[in-house]
Structure 1
Amino acid sequence: MALTDTAVRNAKPKSKPYKITDGQGLYLLVNPGGSKLWRVKYRLNGVERKLALGSYPEITLAEARSARDAARRQVAHAVDPNAAKRQARIEASIRASHSFASVAEELIEKKTREGLAEPTLKKMRWFVKLLGRDFGKRPIAEITPQELLHELRKHERRGRLDTTNLLRAFASRVFRYGVATARADRDPAQLLIGALTTARVKHFPAITDPAAFGALLRAIEDYQGDPAVIYALKLTPHVFQRPGEIRHMEWTEVDFDKAVWIIPEGKMKMRQPHSVPLSRQSLAILADMRSLSGSGRYVFPSIRTRERPLSENTINASLRRMGFPKDQMTAHGFRTSASSLLNESGKWNPDAIERALAHMVAGSVRRIYNQSAYWRERVAMAQWWSDYLDELRDGGNVPRQQEKIEGWSTMTTPAPFGELSYGFSMRTKMKHEGNWTTLSAR
């Protein structure tokens, strides 16, 4: 006779355990202590076995019958329900032990072995902390898109829009790694694309007016402070590489004989080695610095210890002390200044300028071509650029002034600009190295 909810509820304990059967192997075991346990009997390969389904009232009669039917379907496919349950318990335990933070740390360790730059690894560890200790402890397989969005909204509400979107992208990398290593089933961060506020693109403040840039160079020349800071400030405009690459510059990377600085791929943002031609001025700055730090590892060691490079904010702090606010000039802004002024000169192939800036070029074939084809031009450009900086620093560049004199256009321009093209049709008198020449401008 089939059981009813009332019969199960009213079953009283006796001095010995007893069973109340339901059908198709399902029964309720009532113990003297009052516990009521669901069990199902089944046969597999001629051997009778028992499967525990849970206790009443946590498992209702309807739920017990559903579990019994599922077990019978497993038996019909030659699957042992007990073995399947044990395997599921092991898998659940493994998945629960793999928290988001532990999988993230494993990914970071993998990237470390692959040679990812230390600043990038440091940022990844910072992202783990930003997502929070409680979130980090959650099993990665159980995290929902809504749960992740809740964590990201905390940063979005504080106005950290760039950080919020970077956090989502980082979380997505962790989830994808979790899927690839069988610790997660999906990437909930992928589902949040479009849910977060996108920050406006911000460009690093930079001085691009030649006369104003000359004033900056003179301020650097007059700056008083730690020698490593002074020489780092002097070198930065000449090589216009990323601040982190300059800070971490090592003597083993500088070849004075070949006049080149070779930055290894582990230090480059784009994970590609980068060669920087060094002008006479750059070599002179490095030679002066070598007498101060040449016995150590870093070209520009920290003020506190020679075992570490200059700190991340040293150059920016020095610019502030020189009177250049953060909305006018930054350490990274020297790259923008160089890019703008080099392109405005009209002397150099834009691809050569991009290669000098170590910007990634789309397409592997074109990237390889750019690494080799523009080297001679980049060497010439490096020397031209340093000469131009000297002229700006010495006040030799006066903003281009144009006045009409009897139908002529008189324009004063610095010598380094050399050949120029203009967007108007008139004969132009150019003063070059003290001599006036007449050009037919286009």
Structure 2
Amino acid sequence: MPLTDTAIRTAKPKERAYKLFDGGGLYLEVAPAGGKWWRLKYRIGGREKRISLGVYPTVGLKEARERREAAKKLLSQAIDPGEHKKQAKAAAAEAVEQATTFEAVAREWYGKKHIAWTPGHQKKILSRLENQLFPYLGNRPFSSLEVSDYLGAIQKAEARGAIETAHRLAQLCGQISRYARISGIAKHDMAAGLTEALSPVQTKHYAAITSPTDLGHLLLAIDAYQGEPAICHSLRILPYVFVRSGELRGAMWEEIDLDAAEWIIPAERMKMRRPHVIPLARQVVKLLHSMRDYSGTQGLVFPSSFSASRCISDMGLLNALRRMGYGKEVMTVHGFRTTASTLLNEQGYNRDWIEAQLAHAERNAIRDAYNRAEYLPERRRMMQEWADYLDSLKTAGK
């Protein structure tokens, strides 16, 4: 006689396990401790077998019967329901494993983080993942990765002499591993402390002229340089503002207020991801007015000669310096920042003013916000005095 919901619900445990049959091989087994399990008895290949169809009341009578019919359908196709269940469980486990490979977790981490980065940084991180980590770790289940696996991947960069890259990869693995631990994907952060096993990074210094006399000669060479207007103007402006090359090359007219003599670089174009105010000396305002004759008043200040929608390249500035006779061991584009920092410090200007103007990171966020607001008048005066000083060096060098 088929089972009823009432009979199942009111079935009491006995000293020994017993069975309540529903028909078609389906029965409910009641354990002495009170648990109730659905079982299905069937025959295949001349052998009698049993499989579990779930636990009551999580699986009710109706669902248990549906599972029995599904099993019968498999049997009609000569498929063992028990083996089919094992295979489905294995496939599900494999799907979960594939969803938590290193590549899957890394892409999930990247998807959450990249919106706060500049396009250039996004491209750099994605390249490190796709070209240097995924080939070795990508298809590995994240939870199976050991310290040796991470080291094996990043030490390939170290082996070819790319020590700094190896350190960057170690930091990247650490960030992803911490994300996996916090997200519950992995129990432990297996990528912690990887840099301890790497050779130390040799600090890279950009070549820069710090002699006032030599600087005067360089400024005269820049003034005399004949080339693409955007290259010429950007090189003439760079010593006065000592921003990073990309910040200058990507300058937009909408960021610059010539009447107020002020240039505000938006956060998304700054390395430290915060707006940067640059007071413009009279000399810079004059050069920018001149640049308008070539680029207009909209869009990029220093567009490439190949496309108005693209700015000049860093290589274009570097090649101009090389044509003037300044090799990489003497002066670099980035070196103008070092030049300004060195000479301004030697002249006794307040270090905080200089650091604020260079847009260097301030560990104390409250102090940093205070400095940027408080030092603007002082920086404005410093930048004009610096511009006048550069002009005096040119005069002395003639």
TM interval, short-chain normalised: 0.7 to 0.9
Residues 189-228 of structure 1: CA distance to partner in whole angstroms, max 9, x if unpaired?
A: 2142300111121221111010111111111111122111
Residues 86, 155 of structure 1: alpha-carbon distance in 2 compared, 3 angstrom cutoff: same
Please state how far the C-alpha of 1:382 moved relative to its aligned partner: 0.8
Alpha-carbon distance change, 98 to 354 in structure 1, aligned in 2, over 3 angstroms: same
Q: Does 1:354 align with 2:361?
A: no
Rounded Cα–Cα distance in structure 1 between residues aligned with 2:189 and 2:328: 38
The answer to whether the 8 A contact 1:156-1:164 is kept is yes
1: CA distance between counterparts of 2:305 and 2:356?
Answer: 32
Q: Map 1:172-187; keep pairs closer than 5 Å.
A: 172-187=174-189
For residues 171 and 339 of structure 1, the distance between their equivalents in structure 2, rounded to whole angstroms, comes to 35
The corresponding residue for 1:200 is 202
Q: Which has the larger displacement, 42-51 or 363-372?
A: 42-51
CA distance in structure 2 between the partners assigned to 1:343 and 1:84 by the alignment: 73
The answer to whether the aligner puts 1:118 opposite 2:108 as a matched pair is no
- In 2, the alpha carbon distance for the partners of 1:248 and 1:284 equals 19
User: In the TM superposition, what whole-angstrom CA distance separates every residue of 1:295-340 from its partner, at most 9, and x where no partner exists?
Assistant: 5421111232111222232222222222111122111110000000
Higher helix proportion, which one?
Answer: 2
Displacement of 1:50: 7.9
Contact 1:141 1:184 in 2 (8 A): yes
Residue 157 of structure 2 contacts residue 166 of structure 2 at CA under 8 Å; is this kept in 1?
yes
Q: Does structure 1 residue 46 correspond to structure 2 residue 48?
A: no
- Call closer, same or farther: CA 1:96–1:244 in 2, change over 3 Å: same
Question: Please, what is the CA RMSD of the aligned residues?
Answer: 3.1
| 1:288 counterpart letter in structure 2 | S
Match of 1:128 in 2: 129
Amino acid at match of 1:384: E
Q: Please give the residue correspondences for 1:63-74 in structure 2 after superposition, counting only pairs within 5 Å.
A: none
Q: Structure 1: which 5+ runs fail to align?
A: 1-41, 52-70, 398-442
Q: What residue is the counterpart of 2:106 in the other structure?
A: 104
Counterpart in the other structure of 2:148: 146
SS in 1 for 2:277: strand
Matched AA of 2:343: L
More divergent stretch after superposition (261-270 vs 315-324): 315-324
Give the 3 Å change call, closer, same or farther, for CA 394–107 of structure 1 in structure 2.
Answer: farther
Q: Deviations over 1:122-154 (max 9, x none)?
A: 211121133154233333333322122112111
Distance 1:94 1:240, change over 3 A: same
Give matches, 1:149-298, under 5 Å: 149-298=151-300
Alignment of 1:291-440 (within 5 A): 291-346=293-348, 348-395=349-396
Letter matched to residue 280 of structure 1: R
**What does the per-residue CA deviation read over 1:147-167, in whole Å, with 9 as the maximum and x for residues that have no partner?**
221121111111111111011
Change in 2 beyond 3 A, CA 1:88/1:323: same
Name the SS of the counterpart of 1:377 in structure 2.
Answer: helix
Relative distance call for 1:298 and 1:184 in structure 2 (3 A) is farther
Which one scores higher on RCO, CA 8 angstroms, separation ≥ 6?
2
* 8 Å CA contact retained: 1:296, 1:306: no
2:396 alignment partner, SS class: coil
1:296–1:139: structure 2 CA closer, same or farther, 3 Å change rule? farther
TM-score, normalised to structure 2, is 0.75
Q: Which runs of 5+ in 2 are unaligned?
A: 1-28, 42-51, 59-81
- Deviation sequence 1:218-265 (CA, Å, 0-9, x none): 111111221111111111111001111111111111111211110111
1:98: how far off?
3.6
Q: Structure 1 residues 234, 218: closer, same or farther in 2, change over 3 A?
A: same
8 A contact 2:217–2:397 mirrored in 1: no
What is the aligned length? Answer: 331
Q: Report the TM-score, using the length of structure 1 for normalisation.
A: 0.68
1:295–1:109 Cα change, 3 Å: farther
User: In 2 relative to 1, CA 302–173 (structure 1 residues): closer, same or farther, beyond 3 Å?
Assistant: farther
After superposition, the Cα gap between the structure-2 partners of 1:313 and 1:144, relative to the gap in structure 1 and judged at 3 Å, is farther
